[in-house]
Every structure is written in C-alpha cells, then in structure tokens.
Structure 1
Amino acid sequence: MAPTSETLTAERILEATEEVLRRHGPAKATVVDVARALGVSHGSVYRHFRTKAVLREAVTKRWLDRTSERLAGIVSDGSGPEERLRAWLAALFAAKRHKAGDDPELFATYTVLTDENGTAVGEHIADLTSQLTRIIAAGAGSGIFTAPDPAAAARAVFHATGRFHDPCYAREWTAPGIDEEFTAVVDLLIRGLGAPR
C-alpha cells in the first residue's frame, strides 16, 4: 500500500467508510476496503476504531448527527415558538426526504446500519426530542402553548409526525399530496398545543 500523505484521522476514516458503504453496501463493505480506499493498512483503521461494529456505529452516528446539527439552529433562532415548531418539523422532513431522494443507495445502507446501531439511533431520537422539548417549553412559558409536561408533548409530537421522518415511510415521501398531508398534521398539532384564547 502506498503511504498516505495526509494524517489519518477518525474523520478521514469515516468519510472513506461512507464512500465504501455507498459503493459496496453494508453487507459487502469491509474494514480492508476502507483501508484500501485510504491507502493504509487495516491495522491503521483499527487503531482508531477497534472493531468493524464500532466503525459502523460511528459512521451511523455521524450521519444522524448531520440532521440534528441542522435542526439545532432552529431551536433558538429567535422566532416565535409556533414558527419554530413548524420550521423544525419542516426541516426534519426535508432533511430525511433529501437523504432518501438524493442518495438512495446510501440511504438504504444507513437504514440497515441504523437497525444494527440501537445506541446511535436512541441517542439521535433523544437529541431530537430534547430539541422539540425546548421549543414547546418556550411556547408554554410564553403562554402560546398549553403543555404542562413539555417533554411528554415533545415525544407525542415526534411520534405523531413519524410518517414524515421515520425511514420506514421513505417510499411515501414523494407521493402526490404528501406536503399537504404534512401541513395538515402540523396544523392539527399546533392547534392541539395552543393555549385557550
């Protein structure tokens, strides 16, 4: 193997792993393939990620974190809680739809990996519901929402909108009328959270 001129970092390994997964899929991608793509020995990869399972979990977490990071900015963007809630839910749907539509092979690969990596998925869902909790708590604090338990309300909103972000529904995300259905669900949730006038 030719020595690489760049320092081998965890981030470079994760980038190469994503490319290998895109090319070979999760069933055939190996640590040796990742090492070959980087021009290093597989032992060099194992120095950063001690097992193939750890590497796959790290690449899954990285993929999920991209969505969380995009949404985090909406949580504290300064607009009203209702606008933030609408924007956050729309951004989540757009991010998931973008991943499924723009790179279907990689999306299918990550769907398999997320099934393997319950810890990464659980942390991702906890982060998303925490973001929702902050939006709903701000709305309750300002009297716009009625939510005695913002965390429970956040979990309910997350589950109620599952059709628009859970990968098992990805085939429906391009169906005619899906945007109108999404808007109808969000409108209903906003009305349900609304404080009595």
Structure 2
Amino acid sequence: MTPEALTPERILEATEEVLRRHGPAKATVVDVARVLGVSHGSVYRHFRTKAALREAVTERWLGRTEAALAKITADAGEPAPTKLEHWLTELFEAKRHKAGDDPELFATYTVLLGESSGVVERHLTELVGQVRQIIEQGSRDGVFTVGDPEAAAQAVFSATARFHDPGYAPDWRRPTIEAEFSAVSGLLMRGLRAP
C-alpha cells in the first residue's frame, strides 16, 4: 500500500480486524501495519501512540451507535413518546447485536472501554444529551411533565442500563429479556407523561 492510500479510516478498519483476531492483550501496532502492508512507523504517523489508536477505534465503534440514535433524536415528525421508545429500543438492539453478532470484537471493546474512560464519558454524555433533547421536546409539546429534563434524562438512561451497559450482555440472551425491556420502558413512559 502506498503511504498516500493509508488513511486513518483504513488503519481503524485494520485495527478492528487485528483486535478480532488477537484480542486487546496481544494486538500490536506491528500487527496492524502487517495487515496494511506498511511499516509500523506509517501507522504512527496517523496515531502517535498505541493508546491513541486504541482510543480512536473505541470512539469509532461507539460513534456508530451515536449516529444511529442521533437520527432518531432529530426526527421532527415523530412525537416525543414514540421517539423515546424508538430511541431506547434502538440502543438496546444495537448493543445486543454487537454482543451477539461479533462476540470476539464485543469482548475486546469491553476491555478497551475500560481503558478509554474519556471516550466512554463523552459517549455517555452524548447519549444522555440525546435523551434530554427528546424529553425537552415532550415537555414543550405538553406530553411530558418534567421539572428538570437533564435529571429526567439521566434517570431514564440509568433505569435502562441493564439493556445497554456491556456489563449486562450475558442477560441479553435470556428468553425473557424483551418482555423485561418492554416493562421497564413502559413504566418510564408512564412516569414521564403529563397527567
């Protein structure tokens, strides 16, 4: 590969491949460079350290979920209660698919999440902010009665942690998990609605 063809995106794709194959403990920048057919110095020109590369790949992974949820948040045609249910369902399904469709990479990212607290904190802040926007819309439209949209958003996010926090991933395979999710989201929706 020529140096001109080497982009951060290609490096991140190769890093995912290496992480999937070797796991976070054994994956090296040299392995990533080998997959790309370049020297490890070429990788370091884009990502100054191994930690920066790992952080970028984690941010990319979390960003996919953020982008999908942002589309729901921005949908002006959907009423807030429907939007919030849709948002919570999409978050649950996205996390569940990541855990079930690619368990090796999901396990790797669970390790990387622990290393990238700044990335994780930004991700969580973004997600709670999206919930806040939906709750604010519902308050403006008179369908939600909420005194503090930020506190309500944090409460909704915390109450649904079992359905999106990677620590609960083993539970997501249980046959009753969808009914449990529906019960929790239904309770939250009733609690937010204006009397």
TM over 0.5: yes
* Alpha-carbon separation, structure 2, partners of 1:129 and 1:161: 12
Runs ≥4 residues deviating over 4 A = none
* Alpha-carbon separation, structure 1, partners of 2:4 and 2:23: 26
Q: TM-score, normalised by structure 2?
A: 0.98
Instruction: Determine which of 47, 51, 57 is the counterpart of 1:53.
Output: 51
Alpha-carbon displacement from aligned partner over 1:32-90 (angstroms, at most 9, x marks no partner): 00000000000000000000000000000000000000111111222110000000000
* Alpha-carbon separation, structure 2, partners of 1:76 and 1:58: 26
Unpaired runs of at least 5, structure 1: none
Aligned residue in 1 for 2:179: 180
Matched residue type, 1:114: L
Aligned partners of 1:16 and 1:34 also within 8 Å: yes
Q: Deviation at 1:195?
A: 0.7
Aligned residue in 1 for 2:84: 85
Identity %: 66
1:68 and 2:77 are equivalent in the alignment: no
* Structure whose residues are more often helix by fraction: 2
Q: Deviation at 1:171?
A: 0.3
The equivalences for 1:130-169 within 5 A come to 130-169=129-168
* Alpha-carbon separation, structure 2, partners of 1:65 and 1:148: 30
Q: TM-score, normalised by structure 1?
A: 0.97
Q: Deviation at 1:174?
A: 1.2
Alpha-carbon displacement from aligned partner over 1:110-152 (angstroms, at most 9, x marks no partner): 0000010001100000110110000000001111001111111
Aligned residue in 1 for 2:25: 27
Aligned partners of 2:73 and 2:130 also within 8 Å: yes
RMSD value, Cα: 1.0
* Alpha-carbon separation, structure 1, partners of 2:156 and 2:169: 19
* Alpha-carbon separation, structure 2, partners of 1:4 and 1:161: 47
| Count of residue correspondences | 194
* Alpha-carbon separation, structure 2, partners of 1:152 and 1:62: 28
Matched residue type, 1:150: P
Aligned residue in 2 for 1:41: 39
Matched residue type, 2:192: L
* Alpha-carbon separation, structure 1, partners of 2:146 and 2:43: 48
Matched residue type, 1:55: L
Aligned partners of 1:4 and 1:38 also within 8 Å: no
Q: Deviation at 1:5?
A: 7.9
